[in-house]
Amino acid sequence: MIEQLQSKTGIIVAAHRGYSAEYPENTLLAFQKAVDLGVDMIEFDLRLSKDNVVVIIHDDTVDRTTNGTGMVNDFTLKELKELDAGEGEKIPTLEEFCESLQPYAELLFNVEIKPCDQAIEVADRTVELLKKYDFLDRCVFTSFDAEVITHLHDKYNVKTQGFPGEKMLHYIPGEDGTISKIWAIGMSMKLLNPELVQSYKAKGKLAWCYCPDDMEQVKYALDCGVTLLTCNDLLPALKYIKK
């Protein structure tokens, strides 16, 4: 299913950590609210708990997004579940995410593996779980670590999103390097310009961006030629595209 993005002529709107502009990021509430608005894709971030459960959280600590303090991988799942991730929401597991979104057969997923010592293990456990739910062909896998991208590409032959080389860890330059493992390139609004977009398209890569969160940014991104917008605030992109 994810391969349709190669030939699809429309613009794809992805929810960055769910509808994170209005609801606690990377929670089941934020994901459901994004689906309710009609997004095409959900983007989310994965790490491991102390007892090796794949959980959805962006930072390597719980400090910013919960009422707790400390490294994510120093907490067991039970301990993570005791934290408040905002509005009474809990840090979800990947399995809970899959259960929650199973009814939405057309929904696509951007699965980000955060750089860390356990990133390859996170990637392997994630693929195994997504296979169990028959989600794998609906996913693009993202990482700022080129070694994770290469591992996912070579071992599982899945679609990957990378970033401009200067933004990635362990990036190998050259046509046969990291770029050969990448299907789509994600560009921040700070880097985005028409020349950069065209340079990646000329290499056969899909050109995506993050995070255009107002109408002016959405218009600029589309004028640059991107085909996928990963947004915190979903309303400007959805309104602009509908218009």
**Residues with catalytic roles:** 16, 58
136: closest CA among 98, 99, 183, 162? 98
Alpha-carbon Rg for the chain, nearest whole angstrom, is 17
Region of 26 on the Ramachandran plot (φ > 0 left; ψ -120 to 50 alpha; else beta): left
Question: Which residue's structure tokens are 């090796």?
Answer: 52
Using DSSP bridges, classify how beta strands 54-56 and 41-48 pair: parallel, antiparallel or unpaired.
antiparallel
